[in-house]
Chains A and B, each alone.
Chain A
Amino acid sequence: MGAMMYTKVANLVFEYGLDCGNVPHSLAVTGPATPNQIAEEVTAKYGVRPLLISYERDKDCTLLHEQDTLLTVSGLQVNLGSLEKSFIGIHTESLLADLHYELAGVLFHCMAMVRLYSAARRDLCVFMEVVQRDDPISPTTDFSLDWRGSPEVYFEFDAVVSKAKRVLDQWRLVLWELFNKNKKAKDPPRRFWKTLQTLASSMPEQLKKGLLEAWQSFGSDVLEYRENVQHFGKSKGLSSCRLKRIGSTWGLTVLIPDDSKVQSDRDYKYDKKRDALSFCWNVTSALVLLTGEIISAAWDSGSQLKLANPLSK
């Protein structure tokens, strides 16, 4: 089937849904440059990190799943197409194939969230322009705003944490297959953290360190938020957002509860101003990078084709 590569950048989206260029409500940059140069300049000047590159689609290009590319924390570029390529050679009924599906889901919903932020921020900027024109004492610094558009961001947040939890589930099974030395223990512990502890002595040091850091920085939060989304309060909690003054424009923050363990939306607190997109992007970045290390470990062990999922038999 015919396909063409994407070459022309349509948009570069940063944290808080910010973008840049010579159009209204964008961050100012010095001139034409590559996406990497622009990203570096904007990060240095405004302290916001680049999240997504959107390409213009040529009408002959059929690779829809490569139109948007997420930039990870470490600068790696990943999209649904490149992710699929990183799993080439993996048996379609293996644990790693399951891992691919769930990880692609995280990536997909995270990128959808970036696009929502970008479009919503632009709408809110136009709205603020009208407000400031009509009301000279309207706010010019960070402030909260009731905004009915935020549920869509929360719907993507729900989907990201649900899929991220599934990735942790798959990690648990894959790691057990790769590193469990106790052949009497057939199944891994049900908890991810317990599985890590059990396998700690047999895992490569770098992988172990990465997984422990991931668990501590977001792993337990992902599980708790997902538990909330599935079984308790709604993640909506607060149908409002905050606008942050960045450069000469506004950035958008949609808040998630400070404490992922609180199970009632009446008790949610938002004092830490925890941003839904920044959280999901950090999670997605880490899941992509660590999954790469897990795949490498599987190739190194030579067992990637034997990792048939016991549950699918």
Chain B
Amino acid sequence: MAQVTTEKLIFERGLYIDQAKGTIHADHSRGVLEQSQEVFDRYGARLVLIVRHVDLVTFDTLDVLLRPDGNRLADGFGLPVQMFQPYPFLLADASYELLGAAYHCRMMAVRYAEICEALQSQIPKTGEAVPIKTHHEIYFRFDAIMTKARKLLDRLAWDIWRFFVNRPGRPDNFEQMLDDRDIADRVPSDLLDCLRPAWNELGLQIKHYRDNVHHLPRSGACSFSGSVEADAHAICQLTMPIPDNPEAKCERLFEYQSGKDALTYSWEALAYLADIGDTIANSIASRFLSHGCDDVHEGR
């Protein structure tokens, strides 16, 4: 019988509980929910990742990336089983990109905790933020997450197009899909009512972050730094800032006043994108089950 054990709980800002040591003054003999609540009450940080180990070979990670609401983040988007055979491609690419973004988010959370652990004995226990400059790897993960997130949105747009519009001239991206002349007629209005605000609230911002990663100079990333603070118990918390206004497209115009953190932003964005994908999957499934659809093509 395989033995699965929980090794570590990782929270926002790199707070963690090592289940063997109980490093955060939480009672690690209690359940995950209780420990998680205790950390939230004490530090206001939510549980991001449960790191687990199994004593036999497994080809899939056992680690659990959570959502901000405490539920598990899904590995992909589901459709009714009747749709698998005729349309195996629907939401397959989008699921792949979600998986990719989730992978980089997991790795980012692990690195936050590693940095906090490594610096634990070095940071003055005064609660004052100490700048650190040598951890660009957090931003490499952020770059990868934003790249995957943007691609996820575009793949979701392709699926909407294939299923509801299904004529040549597929839009390249999510924004173009929303602007297409046929969209309002073919796509259910309740889905559109969800997609437009989602694009305005998050999609556009992800696009700007991603475009900055791919097209703008990043000298700023080498000059701005994260910071670590430690409380009286030497519990460290890490903040790695990202700009409030990625649309400025210029390092000198970026602002960091809101204290936006790379992990928290990426993690919340990922959960939001998963919700959008679920909404699209439900809409496609609903249409298929009520009307059927026999003419969906994979091509462009």
Contact = CB atoms under 8 A, between A and B. Distances in A.
Contacts of A94: 219
B275 interface: no
A98 B134 contact: no
A104 interface: yes
A159 interface: yes
B59 A148 contact: yes
Contacts of B121: 2, 60
Contacts of A242: none
Nearest to B103: A155
B221 interface: yes
Interface in A122-155: 123-124, 126-127, 130, 147-149, 151-152, 154-155
Contacts of A112: 107
A175 to B, nearest CB: 15
Given A309-B219, A311-B216, A159 B140 contact: yes
A103 B107 CA distance: 19
Contact residue range for chain A?
A: 35 or more
B140 A2 contact: no
A234 interface: yes
A64 to B, nearest CB: 5
A162 B214 CA distance: 8
Contact of A152 (B103, B122, B252): B103
B122 A62 contact: yes
Contacts of B216: 311
Given A65-B137, A105-B143, A311-B216, A123 B96 contact: no
B36 to A, nearest CB: 26
Contacts of B250: 312
Interface string B142-177: 011001100100000000000000000000100000
A310 to B, nearest CB: 9
Contacts of A152: 61, 103
B136 interface: yes
B25 interface: no
B270 to A, nearest CB: 14
B115 interface: yes
B144 A155 contact: yes
B60 A234 contact: no
B18 interface: no
Contacts of A130: 57
A159 B137 CA distance: 12
A123 B58 contact: yes
A64 B118 contact: yes
Contact of A230 (B58, B144, B151, B219): B151
A152 B57 CA distance: 16
B114 interface: yes
Contact of B57 (A104, A108, A126, A230): A126
A147 B76 CA distance: 18
A65 B59 contact: no
A65 B135 contact: yes
A153 B22 CA distance: 32
A3 B217 CA distance: 31
Contacts, number: 121
A1 interface: yes
A109 interface: yes
Interface in A60-86: 60-65, 80-81, 84
B217 A311 contact: yes
Contact of B60 (A80, A97, A149, A230): A149
Contacts of B257: none
Given A101-B222, A230-B151, A65 B57 contact: no
A101 B221 contact: yes
Contact of B218 (A63, A64, A102, A127): A102
Contacts of B219: 92-95, 97-98, 101, 309, 312
Interface string A31-71: 00000000000000000000000000100111111000000
B223 interface: yes
Given A100-B222, A127-B57, A148-B59, A105 B151 contact: no
16 contacts: A2-B122, A57-B118, A60-B121, A62-B119, A64-B135, A80-B136, A92-B222, A95-B219, A98-B218, A98-B219, A101-B136, A101-B221, A104-B136, A112-B107, A127-B59, A147-B59
Given A104-B136, A149-B59, A158-B148, 18 more contacts: A61-B118, A65-B134, A65-B135, A80-B136, A92-B219, A95-B219, A101-B221, A105-B140, A108-B136, A109-B140, A148-B60, A151-B100, A155-B100, A155-B104, A155-B144, A159-B104, A162-B214, A234-B96
Interface of A: 1-2, 57, 60-65, 80-81, 84, 92-95, 97-98, 100-102, 104-105, 108-109, 112, 120, 123-124, 126-127, 130, 147-149, 151-152, 154-155, 158-159, 162-163, 166, 230-231, 234, 236, 309, 311-313
Report, nearest first, the 6 A-B pairs whose CB atoms are least far apart: A92-B223, A149-B59, A309-B217, A155-B100, A97-B219, A98-B217
